């Protein structure tokens, strides 16, 4: 943008960080910083964060400083008066592509405030499919830096240059990476200590044991003529555990033959 009349904005290209939710005093102090899981998000929509993550258990944990979220507004690194972040695809075709130089500056800013050792992840439908194991690995680490794409996605060179890991939420295409980022953060966060009220609920649920979860029931004892299976109200904990295991196996076998096959194979090789 050569015919720019206003002086260049001093913040152009500089690190732009928005600290969400938790007041400063909650986030200082060595103990809290050591415990906090740190997430950096590069996005064109910083106002969409923490979004749903600001609610309920994850919201309370954010307030309590168990995790920290910094959004980096890609627009702040845009070019010229209009802060352009995208341009037409080389070789032609539909849509717009996020510029490597603009995204590069945002990545540098985000990495500068990321916890050391945080993986750099680009949310992308071409990526490895996100799953519970990935959530566990991320939860065990110091945090992560997430790049939310828009339009047709990123210039390939910026992915290569920073060695960003491409991760997909599933085999479908979203308009932007922001919803995928929030889903990934949520899945990893709930595996961190102190986030869920009841730690055991993350141990027994779907995908943690290689099986889908057994059916759940609560009051009333009878609803629309349907009753709760007798065993669950018997008070016999051994029988209840057995029933739940059998139901988890039945449901997994019926719905997810792929998971069932892996589960059976692992059972035949104990200790693995
Ligand atoms: N042209 C791209 C799709 C771009 S969709 C392609 O065909 O591969 C725009 C942005 O939405 C992407 O840059 C990515 O960040 C995000 N996105 C879309 N689908 C996604 C998915 N399944 N998982 C994670 N992010 C996704």
Q: What number does the ligand 1 atom closest to the CA of 148 have? A: 15
Q: Which CATH architecture has domain 205-268?
A: Orthogonal Bundle (1.10)
Residues of the chain with pLDDT under 70: 1-34, 199-200, 271-272
Global confidence as pTM? 0.87
Residue-level pLDDT at 204: 78
Burial class (CB in 10 A: 0-12, 13-18, 19+), 143: buried
Tokens of 125: 């439908």
What pairing do the DSSP bridges indicate for beta strands 143-147 and 37-43? parallel
Cα–Cα distance between 132 and 39 in angstroms, integer?
A: 18
How far apart are the CA of 45 and the centre of ligand 1, in A?
15
Nearest CA to ligand 1 atom 20: 125
Q: Which residues pair with 46 in a beta bridge?
A: none
Burial class (CB in 10 A: 0-12, 13-18, 19+), 254: exposed
Residue-level pLDDT at 271: 63
Q: Which CATH architecture has domain 33-189?
A: 3-Layer(aba) Sandwich (3.40)
Q: Ligand 1: list residues with CB < 6 Å.
A: 123-126, 148-150, 152-153, 168-170, 172-174, 176-177, 180
**Among the listed residues 60, 114, 106, the one whose alpha carbon sits nearest the alpha carbon of residue 83:** 106
| Helix ranges (DSSP H) in the chain | 24-27, 30-35, 56-63, 100-113, 132-140, 156-162, 178-189, 237-255, 257-268
Domain range list for the chain: 33-189, 205-268
How far apart are the CA of 170 and the centre of ligand 1, in A?
10
Q: What number does the ligand 1 atom closest to the CA of 126 have? A: 8
């Amino acid at each position: 943008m050569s015919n720019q009349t206003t002086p260049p904005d001093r913040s152009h290209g500089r690190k732009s960080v928005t600290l969400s939710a938790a007041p400063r005093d909650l986030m200082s102090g060595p103990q809290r910083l050591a415990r906090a899981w740190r997430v950096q998000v590069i996005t064109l929509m910083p106002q969409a964060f923490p979004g749903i993550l600001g609610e309920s258990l994850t919201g309370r944990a954010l307030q309590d400083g168990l995790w920290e979220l910094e959004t980096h507004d890609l627009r702040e690194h845009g070019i010229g008066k209009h802060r352009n972040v995208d341009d037409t695809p080389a070789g032609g075709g539909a849509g717009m592509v996020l510029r490597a130089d603009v995204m590069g500056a945002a990545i540098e800013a985000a990495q500068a405030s990321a916890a050391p050792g945080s993986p750099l992840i680009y949310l992308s439908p071409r990526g490895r499919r996100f799953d519970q194991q990935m959530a566990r690995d991320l939860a065990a680490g110091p945090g992560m830096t997430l790049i939310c794409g828009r339009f047709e996605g990123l210039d390939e060179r910026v992915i290569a240059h920073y060695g960003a890991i491409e991760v997909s939420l599933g085999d479908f295409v979203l308009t932007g990476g922001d919803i995928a980022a929030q889903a990934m953060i949520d899945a990893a966060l709930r595996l961190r200590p102190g986030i869920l009220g009841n730690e055991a609920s993350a141990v027994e649920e779907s995908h943690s044991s290689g099986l889908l979860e057994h059916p759940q029931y609560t009051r009333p004892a009878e609803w629309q003529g349907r009753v709760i299976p007798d065993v669950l109200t018997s008070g016999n904990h051994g029988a209840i555990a057995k029933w739940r295991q059998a139901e988890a196996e039945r449901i997994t076998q019926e719905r997810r033959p792929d998971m069932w096959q892996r589960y059976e194979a692992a059972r035949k090789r104990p200790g693995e």
